[in-house]
A and B are shown apart, each in its own frame.
Chain A
């Protein structure tokens, strides 16, 4: 048979290979009806899904007012527990509470309210229990799917349900790193003063974990635990970094021994973090260590951090070093930071020198103008 259109030869070959079953017949009686069915089902699903979405939007709108009203009453009404329970029962009767979307809507609204009004965990937990949502949350914690457990932890953290600490302790032993991390963060959020437990945490923390932990500490400002310094001795470098950040947040200066150890730490991220903290804490006594480190430091980012710290803790010795570096430094980023630091330590250095000898090249002059411009600070 001759070829008839592009690609047919290949299909003809397939037909020969398949032997008994004609390829075209397979398409006609198998694949095409299958595709037609899929296309039909997809269209129905698409229209149905969109219809349901619009319906739920409408329904949610209809229960929105009632939900907001009951939650406001419960949160700010100072009612007795019995009155609150009766109000919730009346509410449940007035809305399609048996429907999943409705329960979900109320649950989300409670969590939203907590976020908006920064509500006390105990009041919220009571309201949560009145709606019997705690059963859902507890159920999620034991769910076989990790992301459901993660959702459960998220709700628990929102509720500040400290009674479930034991369950969270168990989740710390999870293999899934996300669940493990979330459990750890929630435990810290329950008792922020216990963040020293991090010392024994062996998984690497990413920036997200750092942000979450620091966020909890920042919003709760607990008393700094005595043992926080042990974080600096952890074998896990991300815990060391977190320890540095925490001490910096609490304005706790490092000891001389800690400064030397951290500024010369093998991991450059730790060095950088420690140097930045030294600058923020204005630890002038660490000046000599930083000057020595600058001379041997190979990592550009760390060098930049040292220069930034010089702005806060520098003295005449730093200034002399910076002036000598000004003539030799070839890297423009470092040169920029050097000029910035010089201006911080001796604000009229460039004007005085320019008036006297006019020795600066165009680049240095331009950088000096930049760091002194009030709109660019």
Chain B
């Protein structure tokens, strides 16, 4: 047997074991997600949200949203954030050195004046130029922080966290549309649990094609754009399948930057968002978890399976591809930074299960897929290919993938029932079948490029996404 054949034999064996464990992991996640969803819906009569939205005993929450050059939509988006149904909250908008008239529009619309705010820089940020409050009592719960641009969302968020007054805060993007009971829904786990909850997250949906009225969702449609529709599917699977499962075993490593509620004290102690990070949301949760493990304090990170936030996703190839490359870099960067946690018993579930899962099944999968294709090509060139076996196994894997996605979509339909027509359901099903062929390879390529950029230490570039704005419902 030649050396070449021995190497291929070895890789084949490893590849097979890896695939089998991957499928098993998915099955386990599926079961956990199902149990978690069931538990969530069974406990909904424990504390009704209506009590929370009216109680004078409610815990205060700050909504922190950084804005950079959001002049076109800033006023309507801030109004939407201010329309939350909750008795005790404030909205903290950070104008992160916008070069357009974002701040001027805010000042004009909300009658803002500069105030003598004592800024405590508990998390290091770029200099803050000033704080603004409204002279109109209607907007008394709005605070605008004007600062020098920090080149990242993290810096803007940190300035907002430093300026916020409540012990819990929601981190979101200023262009996100939040459901009116978002605060109450995210705060519930903090109130219901006797153990310390350090963060909660919820489902984010895609706003492309949806109709909005008075800053709220009016009608939900399945996106018509090629990239948006695959991302919709990806979000459903990732939130309902993955995150619910990790929440069940308290192993959640990711609370999306688009929407999450956090315990401010823990975030500050963990150092806030890291402005150099390309996956600042993943990195923050990792640091919060590390901190709690090191302090040997029990904690919970809970995920709520409800759609609370709508955001616009990339709808062109360039923007989409750039975003995915950045995500891949963020993933490898975060894993590398927290490598000491890996397989370290001191970090409990985080070190022994959750982070290794991210390493093997989030980071390594694209690499294995590429190696697999390369070996297949080598075999095609140099040996005879067992096409029958290849076909059988490919079909099995494909069907497994489809089943997982369809189960997630069914769960989504049963619990949320989002789409307006049966035609959209057909589109969704067709997307499910075409995703592994048309969309998944793009993600794999973007991931590999992202890893490559990370290893050659290419300078990070955020890029800008041109927003199309929200479609308004017809009156």
Contacts and interface: CB of A to CB of B under 8 A. Distances in A.
Interface in A132-159: 146-147, 150-151, 153-154
Contacts of B135: 375
A171 B56 CA distance: 29
Given A8-B389, A28-B392, A370-B116, A147 B43 contact: yes
Nearest to B10: A9
Nearest to A363: B118
B448 interface: no
Contacts of B410: 42, 45-46, 49
B360 interface: no
Contact of A9 (B13, B57, B140): B13
Interface residues of B, number: 78
A245 B410 CA distance: 46
B111 to A, nearest CB: 11
A295 interface: no
A2 interface: yes
A7 B372 contact: yes
Interface stretch (B67-75, B190-198, B457-465): B190-198
Contacts of B42: 146-147, 150
Given A47-B422, A50-B419, A8 B12 contact: yes
A288 B456 CA distance: 66
A7 B15 contact: yes
* Interface size grouping (class) on chain A: 35 or more
Q: Which of B56, B58, B118, B407 is packed against the most chain A CB atoms within 10 Å?
A: B118
A119 interface: no
Contact of A211 (B51, B392, B425): B51
A297 interface: no
B115 interface: yes
Interface string B375-401: 110010001111011101101100110
Contacts of B396: 27, 31-32, 35
A51 interface: yes
Nearest to A41: B406
B116 A10 contact: no
B313 to A, nearest CB: 23
Nearest to A333: B120
A165 to B, nearest CB: 19
B5 A50 contact: no
Interface stretch (B16-24, B102-110, B317-325): B16-24
Interface string A208-231: 101110110010000000000000
A76 interface: no
Nearest to B373: A6
Given A5-B386, A11-B16, A206-B192, 9 more contacts: A7-B16, A8-B393, A9-B13, A10-B13, A11-B393, A150-B42, A178-B46, A207-B191, A369-B118
28 contacts: A3-B9, A4-B379, A5-B375, A5-B393, A6-B375, A7-B372, A8-B16, A9-B15, A10-B16, A11-B393, A13-B13, A32-B392, A35-B400, A46-B413, A50-B413, A50-B417, A51-B422, A147-B43, A150-B43, A181-B46, A182-B46, A207-B191, A211-B57, A214-B57, A215-B55, A332-B120, A375-B135, A376-B117
